[in-house]
Each structure stands twice: as C-alpha cells, then as structure tokens.
C-alpha cells in the first residue's frame, strides 16, 4: 500500500473542528462517567448517543442493535467505499475510588450480586470521542468520499451470564453488512502510556482469552483418616502445579507468549473433612490459533492424567472467549503516516503485545481492522506506576480526548479519500 497524502486543508479542518468541540467532549465524558452502565444494560448511554447522532443529522441511526447498541451511518457528499469506527459503551462491576466531582456512585446487580459500577476501563472516553468524531465528520459531509459507519457497541466487558452480546452479536446482526464495511478502526485509552502517545502494533496485539474449569472428584472422608478416601484438594494442588508446565515446557515461547493462570481453587467446608470435589477455574491467553488449540489439549490431558494418578477423576470444561486481536499489517502500514501527522512522529510508538483481550477481534475476523492505543496518564504522574485499566483507581486524563477525536476522524476521512491509491 502507498502512504497517504491527505491535503493539509483536510487535516487543518479536522484539527480545528476537534478543538472547537473539546469542551463538549469533556462534558459528554463526565456525564457518561458519572452514570456508567453494565453490559447489555446501557439504556441511558445508548439514548444519549442516539439522540446526539440524530441531532447532528446522520443519514440513519439504528437503535437496539445487540440489545443496546447504536449504529450511525453518515453518507458523504461524494461516492466511495465504506469505513467503520467503533467505540464500546459499558462499564465494569467496580466501585470507584477516584476522588472526582463526577465520580460514579452507581450500584446495581450483576450476575445475582450487588456491586458498584465504574468506567474503570475508559469506555466513557471512547464513547465521547466517537460522538465527537461523528459531529466533526458530519460537519464536513461534502468533502467525504464514501460512507462512515459509527459502531457504538455494548457489552465489550462481557454480557451477563446466559446472554449473548458485544461485538460478536453486533456482527451477527449485520452491523458490517449494510452498508458493506471494508475497513474498521478502533482505539482504547490506556494508563500505561502518557497522554499524547499513540501505541500501535501490526499483527497480533491482544490475546485470545478462554476460560477453563476443572472439577476434580475424589472420595470424602474424615481428615484424620485420609487413606479411607481420595483427597481432591491434594490432587487439585498437583493439577495447579502441572498446568504451570504448559507454558514453561510444552510451548515454544520464542514464537508467541502465552499465559495459563488458575484464579479459583474452591473445595471443602470444614478443617477436618476431606471433601468429595474441588473446582479450579482459570484463564488461557494466547496469540496464535494453533497455540491456542494446543494449550486447550494440554490443560485437558494434564488435568485428567494427574487426577487419575491420584485415584480421582477430572472433568475439564473450556469455553472459548474472544479471539486474538489481530491488526491487519497492510492497514497498519497505511495508517502510520496519518497518525504521525496527527500526533507527531515521536509520539507514535510501537507497543508490546498485551495479554488483555478485546472483542474488537470479531470485527477483524470479517474485515481488515486496526486497533490502536491512546495514552491517558497526565504528565504529573508516572505512567509506569499508574493504576491500570480495570482498577478502581484508574484515572483518564481528559487532555487525551482531542487527540483521540483527531486520530479517528483523520483515519476515516483519509482512508475514504485515498481508496483509489490502495492496492
């Protein structure tokens, strides 16, 4: 692909519009931050988004996509291809500990438990940024050669148990099909980078995330007479140790990193009773589909064989989650000159792979996609020790918002304007 050469006029128009709208973006973000909602329950958020998209005159606004998603369509003044921009809208079941005048005080029920709700991952920023991008591009409709699809997506942080949701359901319901999207861009704020920095990576950038559960069945007995039964706690401990050899001894970690973590070990109700059963639960993170399948096989085999060696039985259940977030190399190559114009070349930085997961990957399975990262730790704080995303102390510097607006708006407009140069 050839590097783009967007006219200075287009760049200047987007930059000026982004500056004019900055106060509105901050106000939107603060309002959303104060009123977070969990996955598939973003009723208020979706209403705010839909009302805004209608007010700025988008050609079409579709509501209740994948429960609470909103899809806006902007047709430019000239014919051309179709590009999509995505923002996620949901918060997390986290009680906020940041001292802000607009801090969340929301509580709700999540999977049967009462919890606080917080935008601990920055989706309030993503939504506000994309609302602004829609307004900026709608204001220059005549200069746009093609169509922009705005995807305001619910439930990136997973829907409630027993429900579908998120990007997978958005795709299933046709958000990329009418009109037919040819490329998709998305961004994520991150406290691990300072404000002003844009992080990028070509190819696998975020991991596939799978959940495993291992139920180990022994034989209950008195704790004073362990020889009269089969102790699933001891067997479970051996399984935990055995699973650690998957990454260290069974995989070629010079090719791709991976993680197998046991986060739950439950069993027993009394100190002197050996129980019948224990449950292990954990996460698998991989960056390659073959490696992913291999890890699944190792988890199953190791668990079953160790259990059998101790006279117990293991039943292993693995649920495949989000696929690898895999940035299209050609689209990344095309995009880098654009981002360097917007942020300044020193601020566009190659980032390491991240073992977190993102359902943006479902869009990338259908069309070429580029998922980039926007630093949001202010200069008076050390980004190396800043509270990470998903922490109750996560803090997003609002000075990053305008750069996010300029980045997505310029990528979309540039990609449409120069479609005839790609090949």
pLDDT digits (tens, 9 = 90+) for 114-155: 999 999 999 999 999 999 999 999 999 999 999 999 999 999
Last-in-domain residue among 297, 320, 343: 320
- Within this chain, do residues 62 and 33 fall inside the same structural domain, yes or no? yes
Q: Is the same domain home to 46 and 186?
A: yes
* Residue-range definition of the domain harbouring residue 226: 208-320
Cα 272 from Cα 105, distance rounded (Å) = 43
* Domain assignment present for 140: yes
Q: Which helix (H) or strand (E) holds 314?
A: strand 313-320
Mark whether 193 and 213 lie in a shared domain.
no
In whole angstroms, what is the distance from residue 7 CA to residue 125 CA?
Answer: 28
Residue 31's contacts (CB-CB under 8 Å, 6 or more residues apart) are 48, 102
Question: Domain ends where: 296, 320, 344?
Answer: 320
Examine the domain organization and report whether 298 and 332 are in the same domain: no
The enclosing domain of 219 has a CATH number of: 3.30.70.360
Using alpha carbons, list the distances in angstroms from residue 259 to 78, 266, 295, 354: 48, 21, 9, 11
Pair (309, 351) in one structural domain: no
Under 8 Å between Cβ of 413 and 77: no
262 and 197 in one domain?
no
Asked whether residue 243 falls in the same domain as residue 336, the answer is: no
Instruction: Say whether both 285 and 189 belong to one domain.
Output: no
User: Is residue 2 one of the residues assigned to a domain?
Assistant: no
Rg over alpha carbons for the chain, rounded to the nearest Å, is 24
Same domain flag for 354 and 260: no
Q: Which residues are designated catalytic? A: 322, 398
Domain C-terminal end among 293, 320, 347: 320
Within a domain: 1: no
Q: How would you write the pLDDT of the chain (423 residues) with one tens digit per residue?
A: 434 444 567 899 999 999 999 999 999 999 999 999 999 999 999 999 999 999 999 999 999 999 999 999 999 999 999 999 999 999 999 999 999 999 999 999 988 899 999 999 999 999 999 999 999 999 999 999 999 999 999 999 999 999 999 999 999 999 999 999 999 999 999 999 999 999 999 999 999 999 999 999 999 999 999 999 999 999 999 999 999 999 999 999 899 999 999 999 999 999 999 999 999 999 999 999 999 999 999 999 999 999 999 999 999 999 999 999 999 999 999 999 999 999 999 999 999 999 999 999 999 999 999 999 999 999 999 999 999 999 999 999 999 999 999 999 999 999 999 874 544
Residue 136 lies in a domain: yes
179: preceding bond cis by omega (within 30 degrees): yes
State whether 168 and 151 are in the same domain.
yes
Supply the DSSP string of 201-256, one letter for each residue. -SEEEE-EEEEEEEEEE-B-EETT-GGGSB-HHHHHHHHHHHHHHIIIIIS-TTT-
Number of domains in the chain: 2
Q: Assess whether 136 and 189 both reside in one domain.
A: yes
| pTM of structure | 0.94
CA distance 159 to 156: 8
CA distance 334 to 156: 27
In angstroms, the CA 118 to CA 278 distance is 33
């Amino acid at each position: 692909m050839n590097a783009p050469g967007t006219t200075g006029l287009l760049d200047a128009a987007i930059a000026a519009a982004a500056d004019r709208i900055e106060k509105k973006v901050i106000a939107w973000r603060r309002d959303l931050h104060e009123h977070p909602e969990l996955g598939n329950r973003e009723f208020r958020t979706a209403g705010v988004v839909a009302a805004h998209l209608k007010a700025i005159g988008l050609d079409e606004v579709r509501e209740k996509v994948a429960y609470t998603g909103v899809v806006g369509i902007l047709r430019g003044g000239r014919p051309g291809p179709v590009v999509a921009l995505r923002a996620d809208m949901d918060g997390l079941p986290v009680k906020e500990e940041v001292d802000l005048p607009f801090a969340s005080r929301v509580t709700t029920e999540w999977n049967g438990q009462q919890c606080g709700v917080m935008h601990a991952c920055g989706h309030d920023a993503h939504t506000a940024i994309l609302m602004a991008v829609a307004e900026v591009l709608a204001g220059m409709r005549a200069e746009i050669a093609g169509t922009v699809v705005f995807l305001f997506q619910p439930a990136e942080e997973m829907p409630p148990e027993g429900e579908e949701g998120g990007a997978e359901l958005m795709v299933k319901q046709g958000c990329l099909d009418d009109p037919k999207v040819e490329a998709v861009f998305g961004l994520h704020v991150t406290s691990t980078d300072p404000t002003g920095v844009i992080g990028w990576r070509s190819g696998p950038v975020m991991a596939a995330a799978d959940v495993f559960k291992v139920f180990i069945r022994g034989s209950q007995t008195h704790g004073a007479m362990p020889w009269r039964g089969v102790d699933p706690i001891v067997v479970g401990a051996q399984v935990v140790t055995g699973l650690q050899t998957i990454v260290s001894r069974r995989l070629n970690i010079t090719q791709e990193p991976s993680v197998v973590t046991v986060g739950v070990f439950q069993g027993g109700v009394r100190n002197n009773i050996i129980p019948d059963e224990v449950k292990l639960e954990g996460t698998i993170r991989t960056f390659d589909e073959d490696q992913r399948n291999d890890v699944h096989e190792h988890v199953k085999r190791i668990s079953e064989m160790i259990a059998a060696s101790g006279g117990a039985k293991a039943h292993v259940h693995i649920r495949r989650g989000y696929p690898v977030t895999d940035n299209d190399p050609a689209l990344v190559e095309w995009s880098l000159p654009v981002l360097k114009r917007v942020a300044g070349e020193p601020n566009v930085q190659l980032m390491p792979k991240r073992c977190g997961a993102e359902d943006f990957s479902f869009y990338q399975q259908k069309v070429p996609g580029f998922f980039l990262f926007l630093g949001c730790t202010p200069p008076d704080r050390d980004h190396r020790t800043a509270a990470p995303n998903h922490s109750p102390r996560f803090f997003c510097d609002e000075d990053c918002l305008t750069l996010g607006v300029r980045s997505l708006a310029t990528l979309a407009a540039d990609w449409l304007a120069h479609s005839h140069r790609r090949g």
